[in-house]
Each structure stands twice: as C-alpha cells, then as structure tokens.
Amino acid sequence: MSAYVEIPRPHESAPGRFTAELAFPVQSKRRAQQHHDIAWALADVHGLEMSTPYKVNPRWSVYEERWGNGERHGWQDMRRLRVDGPAHALARYLVALERVLGEVEAMVTRAVRVFGAWKRSVAAEPFLEYEDASTMRTRARVFRADALRALAQHLGARTRPVGERDSSRPLWEQYGAVAEDVWADAGGVDLERADDSAVNAHMVRMVPAVVVEAERLAVLEAARVEKERQETERVELFRQVDAACAREADEVDAERYALDGQGALFAVLEVSPDRRRYAPAA
C-alpha cells in the first residue's frame, strides 16, 4: 500500500477494458499535482489512456458567478486521475506506479539533503547574509517542490540537461541541476518493471463484480450440496447400524428360544428381510 497514491478496485468500463480512479492523498496540493503528473507520464509509457476528472465547485451558482464573488463552475481535480486500458497493461501500470512514486520521492529526499549540506557549507555564506531561519525553511520547502517537479519532467522526457551547478548562484535557484545529479547517481527510474505476483494480485481485483457475486453464490451452493450429501450419508449409516442391531437381536432371541424349547410355541411372521416378529401359535 503506497502512501502517495490510493488505488481503489478497478472496474470494467467496456468488454476487456478496465478503469482505475487514482487519488493522491498527500496534504500539499502542489505535491499532489506533481504526483498526478508522474502518474500521467507513466500511463503514457504503458500505452494507457488517461484523463483528469472534473470537480464541480459546491459554492457555484449563476448568481455567485455573475454578480457575487465570481465563483467558477468547476475545474480539473489534480488530486485524481482516471486511467483506462486492457486489464494486464493496467495491472502492470498500477504496480509500477507505486514503485516509481516511492523511488522519485526517495530522490527528492536526497536532493533536499544536498540542499541542507550546501546551506551549512562555506560556499553558502555569501547568499545567507539576508536570510534567517524562517526564510530558509521556506526556501527548503520550495526547493523540495521544485526538485520534485523537475524529476517528474524527467519521467515525461520533456526536459534537456541543464548543465552543471553554478557556484555564483544560490542552490535554491538550481533545483534542476541538483535533480539531474540525483537522477544520474540513482541511475534513473525503470518505468516498466513490475513484480509478477503483484500484477496477478491486481488482476484478481479486476474481476467484474457480477463474476465475483456468481463465484460467491457458487461457493455457497457447493457448500449446501456437500452438507446435504453428508446428511444423507449419516442417515444411511444410522439405518445400516439399526438394521445390524435388529438382526443381531433376532439371532440372540432365536437361540434363546431354541435352548428353552419354546420355539414351537411361536409362529414366525415375516415382516421384512431383516426383522422377524413372533406370535403365539394357534
């Protein structure tokens, strides 16, 4: 389970095609949009179709838009992404997405550590003369967001190498160069690798709901049939035991009557193949 993307169960939108509605739950809106951009670029690599859902503004009304506060009807919800495609391709994408987001976030953390080491170095002193702790916290936060955006652009191959770092400029202006260095040190990100067992797990989740319900009913029916079979076998076993006990009792009675010399006093009436009843002779 990834902390950067929520993946609900994909649903079948057309025969053989499935749709996943992704959500990016991080608190920062800018960071969530960057995760959205990474997921968008990765979907293009996997040959899937993607779209950003539309979010309606709950405060909108004709009055508010024209004569009130100018409220818009809605906008694209950058915290969500809809991805469509064949089942297996979509499953591989979902597995790769969780890994890629984790690896990119790890690279961003390394970039922030580079920034932290720089601001404690002698080379940073000329640029920190008019900075205090509050402004440096803001600088670090903005630097992290900018580095994440630069790494997201690396995934989409929309950027060119920005060159080496320039010691005459503060490092917070050179987030692209730092991101490029971190990317090169890590060897980039494999956009297509996906664990087969995880892919199969996602494939299982993609079974249409009607099939899942049919399988559940089939399991219940099989359990009912098996229960009836066991009950039938138990009743038959009890019948056989009862018949055996009755035969044994008849044999014991017949032996006792023969020993007592009273066998001629009773007529044997055939009731069933297994049980006999004796009655006084006429």
Mean local confidence (pLDDT), 91-116: 92
Q: How does the average pLDDT of the chain come out, rounded?
A: 82
Q: Which residue has the higher pLDDT, 171 or 272?
A: 171
- Which residues contact residue 249 at a Cβ distance below 8 angstroms, ignoring those fewer than 6 apart? none
The predicted pLDDT at position 131 comes to: 85
Residue 19, C-beta contacts closer than 8 angstroms, at least 6 positions apart: 10, 11, 12, 13, 82, 83, 84
Q: Is the pTM of this model over 0.85?
A: no
pLDDT tens, residue by residue, 33-67: 889 999 999 998 899 999 998 887 776 676 666 66
- Residue-level pLDDT at 235: 87
Q: Which two tokens stand for residue 165?
A: 């770092």
Q: What is the mean pLDDT of residues 257-265?
A: 60
State both tokens at 183: 């990317």
Does the structure show a pLDDT above 60 at 27?
A: yes
For 17-38, give the DSSP string: EEEEEEE---S-HHHHHHHHHH
Report pLDDT digits (tens) over 58-94: 766 766 666 677 677 777 788 899 999 998 899 999 9
Tell the residue number behind the tokens 């970039």, with chain if given: 111
